[in-house]
Amino acid sequence: MESPVESKGGSTWEERRPHKNELVDVLIERIDDRGRGVGPVPKAKLTVRFANPGATIQARVLGRSKKRLDGRIEQILDPGPHASPARCPHAGVCGGCALPTLDYAEQLRQKRLLVEDAVVRAFEARGVALTAEVGDVVPAPRLEGYRNKMDFTFGSKRYILEHEPQGVDASFGLGLHAPGLYQKVLDVEHCAIAFEGASEIVRAARELAIERGLSPWDLKSHTGLLRHLVLRRGERTGETMINLVTSERAAAQIDAYVATLIERFPGVTTVVQNLTTREATVAYGEEQHVLMGPGTISDIISGKRFLISADSFFQTNTAQAERLFEIVRERAALEARDTLFDVYCGAGTIGLVIGEDAGAIVGFESAPTAVRDARLNAERNGVANATYHEGDVLATMREALDERSVRPDVLVVDPPRAGLHPKVPAQLIDLGSPRVVYVSCNPKTGAQDVAAFVEAGYELQSVEPVDLFPHTPHVEAVFSLRRSGGRR
């Protein structure tokens, strides 16, 4: 540690919080839910990007708030016992992987701690007893090339690396954001977590766009043509989609650009152009044009083939999604006459995988393209007992209950990262389903929703984290609940 220095108030360094720009030595103890290392400094906690648990670092304080200090690594004094070689040339400068040099066993341990902390806090806030321990995280079978979907961003401000010469052109970038610098795009040459061949498509798309003078999106002026390059691959089918998100159709420019890109990559099976007028950086549009192929790809999970549209949700780790769904199937324990309510069903994947032996599958989803895909997926897999309702989940659920006078025997809930709307848990609880399986991609919001079920009389039976996203802090969790007096 630095030697004590006198502060303005006469106290020594050890007795006060570090100031901005001050250098401090800190032992990193854990990660937070954004993957930043967290360690103690006098009267505060310091969070630092790319700092591994177990490492001792010298950090510069960059920002101060009441709750924490933010810092930057200046020097790694001791890498600690959990350091591993970087798998990617962009480690430490790319925002895609927050844990690029943390060994996988420690990643799993840290993710379990994140889930456990979220559950304990949520249950304490509700004043309810925690009756189940958080299990060990189910490890992913692949640590590289596991993502079947990657969203790359075009930008008019490229992040300049330290080794690049002064005056280099920084007016065009295609890749991922530099951490904390959302207006700058890091040119990605190789992405270790993307499916095989994705990096080559990105490099060619960048080169061709620059050659043809196509303008990238500018976040400040809200001008430019190219906004996102979204690549999807059916891991089990090999089908590949290029989804180009632009600000306008610009047919002459885009069609010629796409034609050249396809010539270089004949394995691409479909190309879609999405048009968006939104100022926000979202990789979907209000208008869609299929430029080549059927406009969809497919993939296979648990023996069932699923249609994937440009805008529909599909788990980004195919092999590990299969294991996730197996756990959901085990916890749902469906029987032949059971009615399964698949809430926020997306393209119907979970319900169709686990509900083949159920009496009925009833899905609810607000996204029209996802509902369309769910219906097609049920048809192409020969599942005749599935029906899907499009629209506001609570409204369509009430309509379905009124029309059919049926209640769910098993309720599977798989909401977005934001979790359930505050009014939704009470409505789902009122359904009286004996068993609930809640699948969460955000342990904080998932634990809060599950705690509401427990407060209403459900018993939490198990919490099973599943790692679908190696080298990031993200983790899925399957919460299994049983209503008091309900079937085990």
Residue identified by tokens 């049920």 is 378
Query: Alpha-carbon torsion 263, 266, 270, 273, what sign?
Result: negative
Amino acid at 422: P
Residue identified by tokens 């788990």 is 315
First CA to last CA distance, the chain = 56
Residue 49 burial (10 A CB sphere; 0-12, 13-18, 19+)? middle
Which residues, including other chains, have CB under 8 Å from residue 240's CB and lie 6 or more apart? 197, 231, 232, 233, 234, 265, 267, 268, 269, 270, 297
Amino acid at 322: E
Are β-strands 181-187 and 173-178 bridged in parallel, bridged antiparallel, or unpaired? antiparallel
Residues 208, 362: Cα–Cα separation, whole Å: 46
Tell which residue, 336, 331, 365, 329, has the closest CA to residue 348: 365
Tell which residue, 280, 291, 311, has the closest CA to residue 217: 280
Phi (first) and psi of residue 434, to 5 degrees: -60, -35
Which residues, including other chains, have CB under 8 Å from residue 304's CB and lie 6 or more apart? 352, 353, 377, 381
Residues 480, 66: Cα–Cα separation, whole Å: 37
Catalytic-labelled residue, pool 88, 191, 345, 441: 441
Half-sphere exposure of 453 (CA within 13 A, CB side): 33
Q: Which alpha helices (DSSP H) does 98-167 contain, by range?
A: 104-126
- For the question of residue 88 being annotated catalytic, the response is no
Residue identified by tokens 């103690």 is 40
Which residues, including other chains, have CB under 8 Å from residue 488's CB and lie 6 or more apart? 482
Residues 217, 152: Cα–Cα separation, whole Å: 12
Amino acid at 116: E
Task: Please give the positions annotated as active site.
Answer: 441
